[in-house]
Amino acid sequence: EPEVTQTPSHQVTQMGQEVILRCVPISNHLYFYWYRQILGQKVEFLVSFYNNEISEKSEIFDDQFSVERPDGSNFTLKIRSTKLEDSAMYFCASNQQGDGYTFGSGTRLTVV
Amino acid sequence: AQKITQTQPGMFVQEKEAVTLDCTYDTSDPSYGLFWYKQPSSGEMIFLIYQGSYDQQNATEGRYSLNFQKARKSANLVISASQLGDSAMYFCAMREGAGGTSYGKLTFGQGTILTVHP
């Protein structure tokens, strides 16, 4: 079964530092997403990406966040200057028209 | 207004019994999809079942079935013959879209923690 792979599984960073969360979507999928889940809360949409550009973003996805597809396989989420409230589980997902959404196992980001 | 509402923060069920997890949704879009995901304590999101707004029949996947009542805007998940491994958080989610497309953001409910007792 094809998988969405996320690395690292857990990252601890100091407040103010930049972090890059990495994802390898399923190879024939064209639509990519990042979601965030603060501990114990619901999963929140951050951004969707298609055809090398952002197709939709939420209010959470402010100027501190950016996404990139640097090559044919990786999809990254960058947080430029992390805040304590950025601590959360970050999920990458991908899908193709007609297919369901496949989520990665998540990256638990802890900002100290 | 919440687009997806799960009113049961926690549910308990005896092993081998059936359980229904509630989900109501709110949309004015005639084309939408409803999803259920399972999140065990390890944290990953596992897809369980999908129902499209134009599907005539309720979706089923093994022990999972979706009780889709379009007029009431509800999409309850039914798990039959519960197992200890079903203990997890369960999320209902909706994709709103036009013309049968199946991409776009998912909006999630608050989740229901299911505990299966032996």
Report pLDDT digits (tens) over B46-97. 999 999 999 999 999 999 999 999 999 999 999 999 999 999 999 999 998 7
Q: Which helix (H) or strand (E) holds B24?
A: strand B24-25
Q: Write out chain A residues lying below 8 Å of B103, CB-based.
A: 30-31, 48, 50, 95-97
Q: What is the mean pLDDT of chain B?
A: 93
Q: Give yes or no for B44 touching A (CB within 8 A).
A: yes
Asked if pLDDT for residue B32 goes beyond 80, the answer is yes
| pLDDT given at position B2 | 72
Chain B interface, mutation test: which of A101, A103, A108, most B Cβ atoms within 10 Å?
A101
pLDDT at site B98: 57
What's residue B100's pLDDT? Answer: 44
Nearest CA-CA distance, residue A68 and chain B, Å:
18
List of residues 6+ apart from B66 with CB closer than 8 A: B34, B36, B49, B51, B58, B59, B60, B75, B76, B77, B78
Q: Which residues of chain A have pLDDT under 70?
A: 98-99
Higher pLDDT: B2 or B113? It is: B113
Spell out which residues of chain B touch residue A98, defining contact as CB-CB under 8 Å: 102
Q: Is the pLDDT of residue B111 over 90?
A: yes
pLDDT (0 to 100) of residue B99: 45
